Amino acid sequence: MASVHSDRAAHSAPADFTALKLLIAGGFGVGKTTLVESVSEIRPLRTEEPLTEASRPVDSLEGVATKSTTTVAMDFGRITLRDTLALYLFGTPGQDRFWFVWDELATGCLGAVVLADTRRLADCFPAIDYFESRDIPFIVAVNCFDGIRTHSQGAVARALDLTADTPVMLCDVRDRESGKDVLISLVEHVLALEETTN
Amino acid sequence: MTDQPPGPRPRTDAPDRRDPDPWADRYDEEAGPLVRLYAMTAGRARTDNGAERVDLMAIVRSTDATPRGPIPPEQRSLLAQCAQGPCPVADLASDSGLPLGVVRVLLGDLTAQGLIRITPPEYTAARKEPPSPHLLREVINGLRAL
């Protein structure tokens, strides 16, 4: 069957619109929505996806052929850098049962910010495992609620067992400048990885 | 609500009376869509051309072709948005207020009719087709300038 995608001669062909995708991940209530809000124009995006193969043994869809989708809303923000270049931020759903959305979002993403709260550090383990296992560049941003710095970046890096080149930074997601710094750090990290591998 | 009789609202913006809109009763300005989502896709969650798997960052463009017949309202508004310039699927889905799955099926229909063209995203996997250092530096500078 013919693909919906039109044929493209080469990826080097000049594009008249470039859309880059960044993910904002982390545990429930860590400030993902606030970060997307503070740096971009936030909008809702609804998705309805088929239940995954993995959920079949649990959900037993036998004889229930019609109940095959579930609905989830994502945070979605756009930062227009110029007429033909825009950055898209996607907040990943906090709950584990929405893994199918992660796979959708992770495809082709430039990199990810894993937001962490030092009071509940374990909440960001699944996100870190996910990006590490898929070789997706990420940084860890510790959201300092109320400006309290309870732990150093080094202590967080050790607690999360991060590789030495994974940046850890402190931030306040309510602050636009701080949020911008987080995104800049991520893109700088992607650039650094690219320059070391080439 | 006034004591307006139920049924389709009179449409003041009907484009052409000789070509009545067969979907005029599917949308109300105040109430929004009057049909359930599956009706918009004629019950389909899949398409013949794989549109249900189109990436969120795939770029949709209008081909400026003339439709061969009347187009349902949901497709019409997607088409109107594409006509303004290249647009990622995520933007189309968010602006339409429809779930992504529905938008994908509708985009598949528009592609099949030759009314739009969908280009896959430039970076299909961050590690395989990374953006150029030049582009990354532009993004960094652009973010700093915000």
pLDDT at A156 over 80: yes
User: B34, B28, B31, B33: which is closest to B10 by C-alpha?
Assistant: B28
User: A24, A117, A9, A108: which is closest to A74 by C-alpha?
Assistant: A24
Q: Is the CB of A60 inside 8 Å of chain B's CB atoms? A: no
Closest Cβ opposite residue A88 in set B47, B57, B133 = B57
Confirm whether pTM is higher than 0.90.
no
Q: Is the CB of A85 inside 8 Å of chain B's CB atoms? A: yes
Q: Is the CB of A6 inside 8 Å of chain B's CB atoms? A: yes
- For residue A21, the cross-strand partners are A88
Neighbours of A118 (CB within 10 A): 17
Average pLDDT (A121-125) is 90
Cβ distance of A184 and B85 shorter than 8 Å: no
Interacting residues of B85 by C-beta distance below 8 A, sequence separation 6+: A17
- Give the three-class secondary structure for A135: coil
d(CA B82, CA B118): 11
User: B3, B136, B55, B112: which is closest to A193 by C-alpha?
Assistant: B136
Side chain identity at B82, as an amino acid letter? C
- pLDDT at position B54: 86
Domain A18-197 class, CATH top level: alpha beta
Residues A136-155 pLDDT 10s: 999 999 998 766 667 788 88
Token pair 């139920």 in the structure block, residue? B6
Average pLDDT (A72-99) is 84
Q: Is the CB of A140 inside 8 Å of chain B's CB atoms? A: no
d(CA B119, CA B55): 9
B103 vs A contacts (CB less than 8 Å): none
Cβ distance of B59 and A69 shorter than 8 Å: no
Residue A193's closest chain B neighbor by CA?
B127
Cβ distance of A108 and B124 shorter than 8 Å: yes
Side chain identity at A37, as an amino acid letter? E
Residues B46-99 pLDDT 10s: 677 777 778 889 999 999 999 888 888 889 999 999 999 999 999 999 998 888
Cβ distance of B51 and A4 shorter than 8 Å: yes
**Residue B2, Cβ density class (10 Å: 0-12 exposed, 13-18 middle, ≥19 buried):** exposed
Cβ distance of B117 and A136 shorter than 8 Å: no
Which segment, A61-65, A177-181, B117-121, is predicted with the most confidence on average? A177-181
Interacting residues of A76 by C-beta distance below 8 A, sequence separation 6+: A36, A42, A43, A44, A45, A88, A89, A90, A91, B90, B94
Distance from CA of B101 to the nearest CA of A (A): 6
- pLDDT at position A64: 40
d(CA B110, CA B136): 33
Interface confidence (ipTM) of the complex: 0.82
Residues A186-195 pLDDT 10s: 999 999 998 8
DSSP label at A74? Answer: E
Position A177 confidence tier, pLDDT thresholds 50, 70, 90: very high
Residues A21-49 pLDDT 10s: 999 999 888 899 999 999 998 888 887 65
Q: Is the CB of A76 inside 8 Å of chain B's CB atoms? A: yes
Domains of chain B: 24-145 (1.10.10.10)
Substitution target from A5, A134, A139 for chain B, most B beta carbons within 10 A: A5
